[in-house]
Amino acid sequence: MRRTERFYVNGANSLWHIYKTIPFWKVVRNFIVIQLARYTPFLGVKNWLYRTFLGVKVGDQTAFALMVMLDVMFPEKISVGRNSVIGYNTTILAHEYLIREYRLGKVEIGDEVMIGANSTILPGVKIGNGAIVSACTLVHKDVPAGAFVGGNPMQIIRLKEPHEQNEKDSI
C-alpha cells in the first residue's frame, strides 16, 4: 500500500477545505513556477526553479521533459534522484483530495529512472533505482529497483535478475 497520511474532514468534500490545508499564496506561487518550468526548454533552468522555489529534491543530470506537472500544493514532498528522465506530460502528485478525507505522501524516484510520457505517479510511492515506467502508466504502488512496469493499473512486466543488477554495478 502507498505511504500516505490521512486527514479526515467534516461537511463538504475535502477540496472545499483546501485553504485550511495550505496557504492560498503558496499555491499561487507554486502554480506560476510550475507553469514556467513546464514550458521552458532549458533543463538546467527547470531543475533550478524546482529546487529553489518549490523545494523539490532534484539529482544532478535529471531531465524533466516538456509539460511535466508537479504537485502544485506539496511539491516539496517530491524527490528525484540523479540522471533520471521524467517523460513528457507526466504528472507527479503528493496529495489527493477525496470526499471525506485528503491524503499526503512523499514521492521518491530513485537514480537512473526512466518515466515514460503521460504517466501519473500517485502520492506515497517509491520508484527504485534503475526502474523503467512505461508510457501512460498509473503508478499506484512501489516499483522495485530495476523493474520494468506499465499499464493502468500498473503491473510489473519484468524484474531485473540479480546477476543483471551486479553487472550494472560493476560497470
Helices (H), 16-98: 18-21, 24-39, 43-49
Closest by CA position to 38, among listed 63, 75, 72, 65? 65
11-42 burial, b for 16+ CB within 10 Å, e for fewer?
eeebeeeeeebeeeeeeeebeebbeebbeeee
Could you say which DSSP state residue 143 is in?
B
Of 17, 95, 140, 163, which one is the catalytic site residue? 95
Residue 95 annotated as catalytic: yes
Catalytic residues: 95
